[in-house]
Amino acid sequence: MKKPKLETVVSFAEIISSIALIISLLYAAYEFNRSKTLTNRDVENILYERMFRIDQLIIENKDLTNLVLKASVRSDELSPDEEMRYLAFEHIFYDSWESAWYYYSEGILEKPNWDSWNSWFMSETKNKPILSWEGNRKNYSGKFLDYIDALYRYKQK
């Protein structure tokens, strides 16, 4: 029986290691995409939980419900303590929007998901008095502040 030459063995080993490398890279790419999908879902769950919390507060607290209704119709008639409570409640909304914005800006939230959330946030602002943003504006800075300011300036025109 003839022994294989060292050169043949080395070539065979290179082929096997190349195949193993390709399989490893494909697996790594698969896991990266899977991880990205899971992270995107985690972000969406965070946003859903925050919106659920807003709904829960409204459902469980009749006084807050009345305050939100009053603010949406006659925000100029809110007493200082009512305004403070209303703005604290609305802060949850803007904080959630800011989170979504930064998740998207950092590439964590994918564009179709961002577009859907952003569209929803924008439609919700149509039901809010300008006090909602003007009173919470001080809580934000940077590009998110500029982004929302631009939206409200457009809304006022």
Question: What pLDDT does 157 receive?
Answer: 44
| CA–CA separation, 130 and 134 (whole Å) | 6
Question: What pLDDT does 84 receive?
Answer: 94
Question: What pLDDT does 6 receive?
Answer: 81
Tell me 123's DSSP state.
Answer: H
Closest listed residue to residue 108, CA positions, set 34, 31, 38, 39? 39
Percentages (nearest 5) of helix, strand, coil residues in the chain = 85, 0, 15
| CA–CA separation, 75 and 127 (whole Å) | 12
- Residues in contact with 137: Cβ distance below 8 Å, sequence separation at least 6, in sequence order: 145, 148, 149
Give the number of other CB atoms < 10 A from CB of residue 56. Answer: 11
| pTM score of the predicted model | 0.72
On the CB side of 59, CA atoms within 13 Å amount to: 6
Question: What pLDDT does 122 receive?
Answer: 92
Could you list the pLDDT tens digit for every one of the 157 residues in the chain?
677 788 888 888 999 999 988 988 887 877 777 676 667 788 888 888 998 999 999 999 999 999 999 998 888 899 999 999 999 999 999 999 999 999 999 888 889 999 999 999 999 988 888 899 999 999 998 899 999 988 877 555 4
